[in-house]
Structure 1
Amino acid sequence: MTTSEACAVAHGDAPAESTERTLVAVFASPVARYLLAYGADLGYRVLLVDPDPERDGADAFPDLDDRTDVVVTDHHRPELGEVLRDALAGRSRWIGVLGNPRHPGPHVEALAAIGVAEADVARVHRPVGLNIGSRTPPEIAIATLAGLIAERTGRPGGFDF
Structure 2
Amino acid sequence: MDSVDLEVLKTCALWLSDGKQCELITVVKTWGSSPRPEGSMLAIGEGGLVVGSVSGGCIEDDLIQQVQEHGFQRKLPELLTYGITADQAHRFGLPCGGTIQLAVEPLAPESRVADLLQMLAQHRLVRRTLELASGSVSLIEVTTDHGLSLTSTHLSTTHGPRWRLLVIGAGQMSRFLASIALGLEFEVTICDPREEYTETWHLPGVRLVHEMPDDVVVAMQLDSRSAVVALTHDPKLDDMALLEALKTDAFYVGAIGSRLNNTKRRERLALFDLTAEQIARLHGPVGIYIGSKTPPEIAVSIMAEIIAIKNQVPQASVMSVLHAKQSQLT
Please classify the TM superposition score into its range, dividing by the shorter chain length. Answer: 0.7 to 0.9
Map 1:140-155 to 2 at 5 A.
Answer: 140-155=298-313
Return the alpha-carbon distance in structure 2 between the equivalents of residues 157 and 119 of structure 1.
18
Equivalent residue, structure 1, for 2:121? none
Deviation at 1:119, TM superposition (A): 2.2
Equivalent residue, structure 2, for 1:34? 176
Deviation at 1:104, TM superposition (A): 4.4
Equivalent residue, structure 2, for 1:5? 35
Greater length-normalized contact order (CA 8 Å, ≥ 6 residues apart): 1
- Check whether the contact 1:128–1:144 (CA below 8 A) recurs between aligned residues: yes
Q: Given the superposition, is the C-alpha separation of residues 41 and 127 from structure 1 closer, same or farther in structure 2, using an over 3 Å criterion?
A: same
Q: Out of 233, 242, 247, which is 1:89 matched to? A: 247
- Read off the aligned partner of 1:25 and give its amino acid letter: V
- Read off the aligned partner of 2:310 and give its amino acid letter: R
Structure 2 residues not aligned, in runs of 5+: 1-26, 38-52, 61-158, 199-207, 317-330
TM-score with structure 1 setting the length: 0.78
Structure 1 residues not aligned, in runs of 5+: none
Deviation at 1:44, TM superposition (A): 0.2
Alignment pair present for 1:23 and 2:165: yes
Deviation at 1:152, TM superposition (A): 1.8
- Read off the aligned partner of 2:175 and give its amino acid letter: R
- Check whether the contact 1:80–1:107 (CA below 8 A) recurs between aligned residues: no
Identity of aligned residues (%): 29
Return the alpha-carbon distance in structure 2 between the equivalents of residues 41 and 12 of structure 1.
20
Map 1:91-106 to 2 at 5 A.
Answer: 91-101=249-259, 103-105=260-262, 106=264
Return the alpha-carbon distance in structure 1 between the equivalents of residues 163 and 238 of structure 2.
24
Deviation at 1:74, TM superposition (A): 2.7
Q: Which has the larger radius of gyration?
A: 2
- Check whether the contact 1:69–1:95 (CA below 8 A) recurs between aligned residues: yes
Q: Given the superposition, is the C-alpha separation of residues 143 and 18 from structure 1 closer, same or farther in structure 2, using an over 3 Å criterion?
A: farther
Return the alpha-carbon distance in structure 1 between the equivalents of residues 189 and 56 of structure 2.
27
- Read off the aligned partner of 2:35 and give its amino acid letter: E
Deviations 1:108-139 (A, max 9, x none): 13313434332221111112221101111111
Alignment pair present for 1:48 and 2:190: yes
TM-score with structure 2 setting the length: 0.41
How many residues matched? 153
More strand by share: 2
Deviation at 1:38, TM superposition (A): 0.9
Return the alpha-carbon distance in structure 2 between the equivalents of residues 90 and 50 of structure 1.
20
Alignment pair present for 1:68 and 2:226: yes
- Check whether the contact 1:82–1:111 (CA below 8 A) recurs between aligned residues: no
Return the alpha-carbon distance in structure 1 between the equivalents of residues 225 and 302 of structure 2.
16
